[in-house]
Amino acid sequence: MVILEGKGKHFSTGIDVTVISSLIDYPEGPFREALLDMQNCLDAFEALEKPTIAKLRGFCLGDGLILALCCDFRIASRWTVLGFPEVKRGVPVIAGTQRVTRIAGVATTKELILLGRNFNARTAKEYGLVHKVVPPDELETAVARFASKFLKLPPQTVGAAKRVIDVGSYLPLRASQDLEIDAQAKLLQSPDFKEAVNSFIEGRPPQFIGE
């Protein structure tokens, strides 16, 4: 399990303005390579086969918000401010328009990105960008309580289920069902699968070892 949070009062204030200014007269070839590297990093983080939780407080803007959207779950303080201000700097959201669209839908994504306005955590929850909104002084407890739920589950099974959901959602139905079969077949001889079955039959709490 991974809990992602910013250092200090904010999750992320977005990309450094000096980085944007350096894009002027930047060669197209290296520029494309740099963007691809950044997108690959986000893809790799999103593909981690373990639950990921973003703990949002303060500002969560631009690429920082895109990184949060790579997490499986997002829990925000009531006073969190979110937004995609890139268009105001002449830059589209080059690392995540599709992630926003797949969560919030086309119409909402256009409103958020084309206008570049900030919005609060409650609005983010209405759009599906945040799973839970809590008072600021309850954020730590809320994230810890939610994360603790995964400690009672078999990690390989959770990871496999996450992969099936994430990858399968882009596949035709038959291919996604084959993915389910492959995932379960690989876990069939695992100690945790046997423990899950035996503990259920014996009517006792399972003791998973992560294998």
Query: Which CATH number covers residue 187?
Result: 1.10.12
CA separation for the pair 191, 43 (Å, rounded): 30
Shared domain for 188 and 119, answered yes or no, is no
Shared domain for 70 and 157, answered yes or no, is no
Shared domain for 35 and 110, answered yes or no, is yes
Res. 125: pLDDT tops 80: yes
CA separation for the pair 82, 163 (Å, rounded): 28
- In which band, very low, low, confident or very high, does the pLDDT at 19 lie, cut at 50, 70 and 90? low
Per-residue pLDDT reduced to its tens digit, 57-91 = 999 999 899 999 999 999 999 999 999 988 887 77
* pLDDT average, residue stretch 123-144: 97
Query: Could you list the residue range(s) of the whole structural domain that residue 176 is in?
Result: 153-202
Phi and psi torsions of 57, nearest 5°: -145, 160
Res. 140: pLDDT tops 90: yes
The pLDDT value given to residue 206: 86
Res. 92: pLDDT tops 90: no
Largest Cα span, the chain: 68
* pLDDT average, residue stretch 158-182: 93
| Among 6-10, 92-96, 153-157, 168-172, the least confident range | 92-96
Res. 20: pLDDT tops 70: no
Q: How many domains does the chain have?
A: 2
* pLDDT average, residue stretch 121-138: 96
Phi and psi torsions of 192, nearest 5°: -70, -35
Per-residue pLDDT reduced to its tens digit, 152-168 = 899 999 999 999 999 99
Region at 55 (left for phi over 0; alpha for psi -120 to 50; beta for the rest): beta
CB 62 within 8 Å of CB 85: yes
Shared domain for 77 and 173, answered yes or no, is no
Give whole-number Cα distances, 195 to 37, 83, 158, 164, 182, in Å: 41, 45, 15, 22, 20
Per-residue pLDDT reduced to its tens digit, 21-59 = 666 677 878 878 878 888 899 999 999 999 999 999 999
67 inside domain: yes
Q: What is the mean pLDDT of the chain?
A: 90
Number of Cβ within 10 Å of residue 125's Cβ equals 15
* pLDDT average, residue stretch 183-207: 87
Shared domain for 157 and 79, answered yes or no, is no
CA separation for the pair 152, 205 (Å, rounded): 9
Shared domain for 21 and 124, answered yes or no, is yes
User: What pTM does this model have?
Assistant: 0.90
Shared domain for 68 and 8, answered yes or no, is yes
- Could you give the percent of the chain with pLDDT greater than 70? 94
- In which band, very low, low, confident or very high, does the pLDDT at 208 lie, cut at 50, 70 and 90? confident
CB 78 within 8 Å of CB 133: yes
211 inside domain: no
CATH number where 60 lies: 3.90.226.10
- Could you give the percent of the chain with pLDDT greater than 90? 61
